[in-house]
Amino acid sequence: MGFVNELVQNLPRPLTKEERNRSQESKNPWKIVTSLTPMQGALFMSGYFAWMMDAVDFFGVSLTSNRLGRFFGKDTHSITTAITLTLLLRSAGALIFGLLSDRYGRKWPLVINLLIVAALELSTAYTVTFSQFLAVRSLFGIGMGGIWGLATANSLENLPIHARGLFSGILQQGYAAGYLVAAVINLTAVEHYDRWQVLFYIGAGLSLFAAAFRAILPESEFFLRAKATETTSTTGKSKMFLRQMKKALRIYWKRAIFAILLMSFFNYYSHGSQDLLPVYYENAKGFSAYDASVLTIIGNCGAITGGLFMGYFSQYIGRRLTIIIACCFCAAFIPLWVIPSSFSALAAGVFFVQVGVQGAWAIIPIYLSELSPPAFRAVFPSLAYQLGNAASSASAQIEATLGESVRTTGARGQDIPDYGLIQGWFIGVVSLCIILCCLVGPEDHGSNFESAKAAYQEDAGEATAPMVGRRLSATDPSSVEKGEKSEKGRSEYLERAE
């Protein structure tokens, strides 16, 4: 009965009218956008560009997998090893750059991270053996690992609370926009020069641009405010940072496990529906590389659409409920992803499936930021995300391996892996797993985390951010040490905060 009561208590529900009124200033999306100051907009865009470049860099492999296979003399299964290694090592980058960001600030760790990514992207283009290619892509995974967490913290903590749902969706779809940019480059420059290296040359240049753009902007206001109140030495701040990190881990470990599990499913969701998509269209449906690239572009237009709508609505109906709605929407269109053979029907299928997949993803930046220890909003979401990436790193290889036994007749009459059926079942099962996680998980919708202390300040590790009115979550990490339930512990905290 205890588990049932906990489950019922955690069922997501829309916020009350009073809660909605307290947690947002306007429902007009245009007014939300125009409420930002120029500096808030610029800081947001610096994080957005960083995340978009991450996608351009990552999807360079999947979009050019056939060319890479011919260049290195390897099959699709072998090429996907590079994707797996990249995903596996992103956790190391998340830990390194996340800790640097929470300790030293949002600006220079992100700039350095982008410069490293640009250098490794350029190095990819100069590899001549498959072993060199795998080695560079492995190092590239470390560089990529820090980008998402740093971009999220950099962008969202500088925004007003009422704008964070919408801009979480916009930020996350920087990844879809990056995939779109990579697909256009593949469709034009790569096709024109008939060299896969071109995509990686351009990707390195775009990452340099993102680094330069962030470098000309000031540090995040959150860290400027913390710096203004500094009274301890650099060594003292580092020691305090380590103490507060231990406190946060002791208090938030349950949330950390939940976040890693959720992000494992989410990364299966994303990579399972994207990594082998060009191969599926070319081999199973018989489309040219040009048409396959056009279909990926259409899918990413759907992703951007889903991100905008779902991110916006999450501000009013809650984070978990929006994710559940997006997953159900995706599942409804899986048949249209698998069954048709015509270009137009498949275009509709990939558009609507990606509306659901990336619409659910749109909530993740703000959802994890709100669940995080307020002082560790770079390393907590970033590490959870990338450990989830590591857990799902073999998604492309799993699908490729299943393709050895699940076969179909291709458009040209050849015996080929049935990637359409494999991906359809894959996405459906993962949708269900995400829904179950959201039914039992916590939610801190309305966390005023930008008012928290920096990670190197006294008591930062156990501090809880003030909340804008909402239903309280079932477990309150700030009360774990006292053994209190959230309804009592957090209510007392809110009274003190008000």
Instruction: Encode the chain in three state secondary structure.
Output: CHHHHHHHHHCCCCCCHHHHHHHCCCCCHHHHHHCCCHHHHHHHHHHHHHHHHHHHHHHHHHHCHHHHHHHHCCCHHHHHHHHHHHHHHHHHHHHHHHHHHHHHCCHHHHHHHHHHHHHHHHHHHCCCCHHHHHHHHHHHHHHHHCHHHHHHHHHHCCCCHHHHHHHHHHHHCHHHHHHHHHHHHHHHHHHHHCCCHHHHHHHHHHHHHHHHHHHCCCCCHHHHHHHHCCCCCHHHHHHHHHHHHHHHHHHHHHHHHHHHHHHHHHHHHHHHCCCCHHHHHHHHCCCCHHHHHHHHHHHHHHHHHHHHHHHHHHHHHCHHHHHHHHHHHHHHCHHHHHCCCCHHHHHHHHHHHHHHHHHHHCCHHHHHHHHCCHHHCCHHHHHHHHHHHHHCCCHHHHHHHHCCCCEEECCCCCEEECHHHHHHHHHHHHHHHHHHHHHHCCCCCCECHHHCCCCCCCCHHHCCCCECCCCCCCCCHHHCCCCCCHHHHHHHHHHHHC
Give the residue carrying structure tokens 């996340």: 98
Cβ 355 vs Cβ 173: under 8 Å: no
Cβ 137 vs Cβ 128: under 8 Å: no
Q: Is 46 exposed, middle or buried (0-12, 13-18, 19+ CB in 10 A)?
A: buried
pTM of model > 0.85? no
Report how far Cα 449 is from the mean position of its chain's Cα atoms: 19
Of 451, 488, 483, 482, nearest to 467 by C-alpha is 451
Of 436, 460, 453, 399, nearest to 157 by C-alpha is 453
Cβ 273 vs Cβ 135: under 8 Å: no
Cβ 395 vs Cβ 275: under 8 Å: yes
Cβ 262 vs Cβ 381: under 8 Å: no
For residue 407, what are the β-bridge partners?
A: 417
Widest CA span in the chain: 74
Of 426, 447, 464, 431, nearest to 319 by C-alpha is 447
Domain chopping of the chain, boundaries: 33-220+233-465
Distance CA 224, CA 469 (A): 27
Of 379, 417, 400, 368, nearest to 84 by C-alpha is 400
Q: Which two tokens stand for residue 46?
A: 């610096």
> How many other C-beta atoms lie within 10 A of the C-beta of residue 71?
17
Report how far Cα 265 is from the mean position of its chain's Cα atoms: 12
Distance CA 157, CA 47 (A): 11
Cα angle 386, 234, 222 (rounded to 5 degrees) comes to: 55
Cβ 349 vs Cβ 329: under 8 Å: no
pLDDT of residue 47: 95
pLDDT of residue 65: 85
Distance CA 391, CA 258 (A): 14
pLDDT tens by residue, the chain, 498 residues: 444 454 445 555 555 555 555 444 457 888 888 889 999 999 999 999 999 998 898 888 888 888 998 899 988 778 878 877 887 888 999 999 999 999 888 999 999 999 999 999 999 999 999 999 999 999 999 998 999 999 999 999 889 888 999 999 999 989 888 988 998 898 899 988 989 999 999 999 999 999 999 999 999 888 888 777 766 667 778 888 888 888 888 889 999 999 999 999 998 898 778 777 777 788 778 788 788 878 888 988 998 999 999 999 998 899 999 999 999 999 999 999 888 888 999 999 999 999 999 999 999 999 999 999 988 988 999 999 989 888 887 776 777 777 777 777 665 666 777 777 888 888 999 999 999 999 999 998 878 887 778 788 877 777 676 665 443 333 344 433 333 333 344 344 334 333
CATH homologous superfamily of 33-220+233-465 equals MFS general substrate transporter like domains (1.20.1250.20)
